[in-house]
Amino acid sequence: MVLNLDPLLHREDLDRATLYHLIYLLFVGALSCLLQESSQYAKLKGVAVNYKAPLISHILFVDDTLLFGNTTLEEAINFQRVIQTYERASGQCINLDKFAIVFSPT
C-alpha cells in the first residue's frame, strides 16, 4: 500500500504532527487486527488472568505494545510472523534497544 500524503501536507487546517499521529493510529490499528486475526485462528493463544477471564494476546499503549503468549516455539514463530508482516506493510521496525522478552513459570 502506498499513501499519497501530498494533498494532506498542503492543507492549512492540518499540521504535520496531527497527520503523523493519524498515520500512526492507522498502522497500530492494522497491527492490532493482525494480532486479533492470529488469535482467532488459534495461532496465538494469549493468556488469561484467571480461568474466567478472556484471553489477552496484546495491549496497545501510546507508543508501546505488550504481547502476551505461551512459552512455546510455535507461539514465538507466530508472533515473529505477525511482526514481520507489520514491518513489511508499515515500514516501521522494532526498536531493539527497547525490546524485551519476559518469561514466567506460571
pLDDT at 9: 61
pTM score of the predicted model: 0.68
pLDDT tens for the chain, 106 residues long, are 555 666 666 666 667 777 777 777 777 788 888 888 887 777 778 788 888 988 888 887 777 888 888 888 888 888 888 889 888 888 888 887 887 777 666 6
Residue corresponding to grid cell 484471553: 55
CA neighbours closer than 13 Å in the CB half-sphere of residue 8: 12
47 contacts: CB under 8 Å, gap ≥ 6: 55, 56, 68, 69, 70
